[in-house]
Amino acid sequence: MSGGPVKVLVLFSPSPRSVLETPLDLPPGATLGDALQRAGWLEVHPELRSTTLSTGIWGRRADLNAKLRDGDRVEVYRPLRVDPKVARRERFVGQGARSAGLFAQRRPGSKAGY
């Protein structure tokens, strides 16, 4: 392994349909917390200091002390506003069982659900 800089991409979505991306060159041995600090987002977005936000590397949860490797994608996750299962259930109720998903279109003479 070379002693060159560790290149990472730091991503955060402060609100729906907006994503901040910052490519960084960090020294070897840098941590996820170092990347957030270097990106400058902790000053601009104080909500990042909140304990409700979680962080990860390539979609897997990681704490701020996690060591970064070259090419890592550092992500900051906002809490979900609605449980995905509840949201799906509510959409299904709103659409009705016969007009949603696999049951929306049936071939003439076929069994229900096919």
Averaged pLDDT, 83-90: 81
- Which pLDDT tens digit goes with each residue over 3-42? 788 999 999 887 778 888 999 999 999 998 889 888 887 7
User: Is residue 103 predicted with pLDDT exceeding 60?
Assistant: no
Q: What's residue 58's pLDDT?
A: 92
What is the residue-averaged pLDDT of the chain?
79
Record: fold of 6-77: Ubiquitin-like (UB roll) (3.10.20)
Res. 82: pLDDT tops 90: no
Q: What is the dihedral of CA 11, 22, 4, 67, to 10 degrees?
A: -30
pLDDT value for 49: 67
Rounded to a whole number of angstroms, the CA Rg of the chain reads 21
Please give the pLDDT value at position 70: 93
What is the pLDDT at residue 74?
Answer: 92
